[in-house]
Amino acid sequence: MKEAFAPLMTPFKRQDNSGWLVIVTWPDKLEERLNGFRSMSDVTSWLAHGAPEWLKAHPRNKNL
C-alpha cells in the first residue's frame, strides 16, 4: 500500500504587496509556486476547497 504523498502548502504575501502566493513543498523538497491570490482570504478558501482537487489532479500524484 502506498503512503500519502502530501506536500506542505505555505502562503506568502508578495513583497510588492500585489497579492499572495502559495509555495507547495513536496516531500522530496521540490517546490512549486502558485500565484494569483488577491488576499489571505482567497488563499484560505483555496486551501480548504480548491487544494484537495488540485492535489488529486496533480501529475506528481499520478506517479505514486
| Residue 52 DSSP symbol | H
Section 36-58 average pLDDT = 95
Section 45-63 average pLDDT = 89
Determine if residue 20 is left, alpha or beta; phi over 0 gives left, psi from -120 to 50 gives alpha, anything else beta.
beta
Domain locations along the chain = 8-62
Q: Reply yes or no on whether the pLDDT at 63 is more than 70.
A: no
Separation CA 47–CA 41 (nearest Å) = 10
Q: Which cell numbers in the block locate residue 36?
A: 494569483
Q: Identify which of 45, 47, 43 has the alpha carbon closest to the alpha carbon of residue 14.
A: 43
Please state the pTM of the whole predicted model: 0.82
> Contact, 42 vs 11, CB < 8 A?
no
Section 26-43 average pLDDT = 95
